[in-house]
Amino acid sequence: MTDAADDDAVLLRRSAAGDADAFARFVARHRAGVHRFATMLARDAHDAEEVLQQTFVQAYRGAAGARVDGGARPWLLTIARHALARLRRVAQAGPDTVSLEQLGREAGFADPAATPERVAAAVESRQLLHTALKALPAGDREVLVLRELEQLDGARTAAVLGLSLEAMKSRLHRARLRLLAEVRRRLPAGDEP
């Protein structure tokens, strides 16, 4: 059972009242997760660290008004996502116009050589999976990191992304197919599934 004193909402309330020790505990609890999220989405380690710092500075400033029922991670990742967007200084991607059929083909749908076993063997390589993820468009990477790596549930993932649940599910499905296509491209010669 979670000690009430350790609850995110309690720590943030104390932080807002000027209790620096409470905020230090809050930071210690969440900093690795925010850093992982930023590292997967930022251009480089420098930007990731910048996002990490901006996230917790803003979290401290916004502690009094934070709504973190069920945990502060989605709230923090939303702040981190906005910090990333400011750093990238790029326009939002346009609508995804590639057909689902084409995405499926590129991912190996209807390819007799695309066996689950060969995909499983490929994704055992942390490096291969990491490189494949990094090759995806930012929107695809973002939904995969939130849903699969951070393992937020569907509703929280949608909330962080500012999407409806249905729109998030559609983006997630297409992102999975694109990632599978990237994994296939990175298999050693002669081992393409």
Partner 1 sequence: MNVPPGGLTCFEVLAQLSDLLDGTLAAPQRQRVELHVAGCGDCARFGGAVARLIAGLRTGAVQGEGGGEALPGAVASRLDAAWRRALDPP
Helix boundaries (H) for 124-164 = 126-134, 138-144, 154-161
Cβ neighbors of 51 (< 8 A, separation 6 or more) are 34, 38, 42, 80, 83, 84, 87
Backbone angles phi, psi at 174, to 5 degrees: -65, -35
Closest contact distance (angstroms) between CB of 1 and partner 1 is 23
Cβ neighbors of 109 (< 8 A, separation 6 or more) are none
Q: Which stretch binds partner 1 (CB under 8 A): 2-10, 50-58, 90-98, 156-164?
A: 50-58
Q: Tell me: does residue 9 bind partner 1 (CB under 8 A).
A: no
Binder to partner 1 among 93, 130, 162, 164 (CB under 8 A)?
A: 130
Closest contact distance (angstroms) between CB of 67 and partner 1 is 20
Q: Tell me: does residue 31 bind partner 1 (CB under 8 A).
A: yes
Q: Which stretch binds partner 1 (CB under 8 A): 43-51, 65-73, 88-96, 156-164?
A: 43-51
Q: Which stretch binds partner 1 (CB under 8 A): 6-14, 67-75, 87-95, 97-105?
A: 97-105
Nearer Cβ to partner 1 (48/160) = 48
Closest contact distance (angstroms) between CB of 148 and partner 1 is 4
Q: Please report, as a single letter, which amino acid is at residue 103.
A: L
- Joined together, the tokens standing for residue 54 give 């901006």
Burial class (CB within 10 angstroms; exposed 0-12, middle 13-18, buried 19+) of 31: middle
Q: How far is the first Cα of the chain from the last one, in angstroms, to the nearest whole number?
A: 46
Q: Left (φ > 0), alpha (ψ -120 to 50) or beta: where does 152 sit?
A: beta
Closest contact distance (angstroms) between CB of 72 and partner 1 is 14
Nearer Cβ to partner 1 (150/160) = 150
Q: Please report, as a single letter, which amino acid is at residue 56.
A: F
Q: For binding to partner 1 (CB under 8 A), which residues are involved?
A: 20, 23-24, 27, 31-32, 35-36, 38-40, 45, 48-49, 52-53, 56-57, 60-61, 100-101, 104, 107-110, 112, 114-120, 123-126, 129-130, 133, 144, 148-149, 151, 154, 169, 172-173, 176-177, 179-180, 183, 193
